[in-house]
């Protein structure tokens, strides 16, 4: 992103702050619920009752869009989220973790890592439904405050509801990425150097 003098702008994105802008309260959540019931929003699957954490040392993406939406769990509960949609993305040192509390055993952590060597993790048509994101971010040709229904730089289907806040850019670069999410969708997802481990106790990416 550049200012009026042509200088590139970078900054730290607060996902919780963005989520508040996208889904500001009960009234909007109710409107989203009605839209979901009428088929205006497509929930690809019911999300679990657990959020998971994802971190990466860097993310480089082309075709970037962000907007507010909702997920739905198996009980029919609607969950406000902020969606990041990216046409193609490459991530280095990817980590994903989720902690489950089980009877008798207590806390059990599932940890996944990839892209720790020379080859990065690669994804296309990537959608992340998150409630928190942080990192140092830079954008090129960013549009902030665009109607979410008119977003056209992200992957196919990367639009929100009419009149809601959205933003998009030609590309995005984020370092020290940390996010908490309910769901991830991707057309393709290539995990170079994949490693998955189950550990007793709490062991999270951050």
CB-based contacts of 21-24 (< 8 A; 24+ apart in sequence): 21/68, 21/165, 22/66, 22/67, 22/68, 22/69, 22/80, 22/82, 22/148, 22/160, 22/164, 22/165, 22/166, 23/68, 23/70, 23/80, 23/81, 23/82
pLDDT at position 19 is 46
The ranges assigned to domains in the chain are 1-41, 52-200
pTM over 0.85: no
pLDDT at position 27 is 52
Distance CA 144, CA 166 (A): 7
pLDDT at position 60 is 98
pLDDT at position 32 is 58
pLDDT tens, residue by residue, 85-125: 999 999 999 999 999 999 999 999 999 999 999 999 999 99
| Segments of the chain scoring below 50 in pLDDT | 1-5, 7-11, 13-21, 23-25, 38-43
Cβ atoms of residues 15 and 82 within 8 Å: yes
pLDDT tens, residue by residue, 54-65: 999 999 999 999
């Amino acid at each position: 992103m550049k200012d009026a003098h042509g200088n590139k702008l970078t900054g730290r994105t607060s996902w919780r702050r963005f989520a508040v802008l996208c889904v500001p309260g009960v009234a909007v959540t109710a409107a989203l619920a009605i839209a979901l019931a009428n088929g205006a929003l497509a929930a690809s699957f019911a999300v679990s009752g657990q959020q998971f954490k994802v971190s990466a040392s860097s993310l480089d993406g082309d075709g970037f869009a962000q907007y507010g939406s909702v997920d739905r769990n198996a009980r029919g509960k609607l969950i406000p989220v902020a969606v990041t949609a990216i046409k193609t993305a490459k991530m280095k040192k990817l980590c994903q973790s989720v902690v489950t509390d089980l009877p008798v055993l207590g806390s059990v952590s599932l940890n996944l890592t990839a892209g720790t060597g020379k080859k990065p993790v690669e994804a296309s048509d990537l959608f992340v439904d998150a409630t928190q994101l942080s990192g140092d971010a830079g954008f090129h040709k960013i549009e902030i405050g665009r109607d979410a229904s008119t977003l056209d730089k992200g992957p196919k289907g990367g639009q929100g509801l009419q009149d809601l806040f959205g933003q998009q850019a030609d590309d995005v670069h984020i370092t020290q990425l940390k996010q908490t999410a309910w769901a991830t969708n991707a057309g393709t997802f290539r995990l170079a150097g994949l490693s998955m481990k189950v550990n007793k106790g709490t062991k999270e990416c951050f």
